[in-house]
Amino acid sequence: MMLAATVLKKKIMKKLVLISLMTLVLGSAFGYSSSIAIQTSRQSSMQVYINGKLFNKQPENFVRIKSSAGLYKIEVKVLNPYDKEWYMVRQAVRIEKGFEYYYKVEFAEGQRPKLRAIRTYPVYSHFYLNPALYNRHPTS
């Protein structure tokens, strides 16, 4: 009877060690997330679709989306402040693990809006931990 109990305890301990090792490995794989931040001018508002899914129901001028690494199809439905018409700006972007990508919708009179990459920050950097450094919105 005691032999069966010790064998059972050893099997349980092996399973616990295996589960803890797998948790450690998978936890480090998901440790670095990525994000996409899209911004427009203050006069316009936008709705952001990523891979066909709407991320903000209320039109805003700044949207941040957490994601994992990979290739994304970004579609931004934006109101052009010059001609007051809605445009759909489409672009495919590659997101790497551990970085935050900033994009800005640029307007020009008489032209369609364009989505332009501004900068890239590491997710766990000084800029990401201090919101005052990267949450600067245009004043005009």
Q: What confidence category does residue 6 fall into, taking pLDDT thresholds of 50, 70 and 90?
A: confident
Task: Give start and end residues of each alpha helix (H) in 1-140.
Answer: 2-29, 126-129, 131-134
Q: What is the DSSP letter of 125?
A: S
pLDDT digits (tens, 9 = 90+) for 32-75: 578 898 998 878 889 999 999 998 888 888 998 888 888 999 99
Q: Which CATH class is domain 32-134?
A: mainly beta
Spell out the domain ranges in the chain: 1-31, 32-134
Q: What is the pLDDT of residue 105?
A: 93
Give per-residue burial for 35-55: e unless 16+ CB within 10 Å, then b: bbbbbbbeebbbbbbbeeeee
Q: Quote the pTM value.
A: 0.65
Instruction: State how far the Cα of 87 lies from the Cα of 114, in Å rounded to an integer.
Output: 10
- Interior angle at CA 122, CA 23 and CA 68, nearest 5: 50
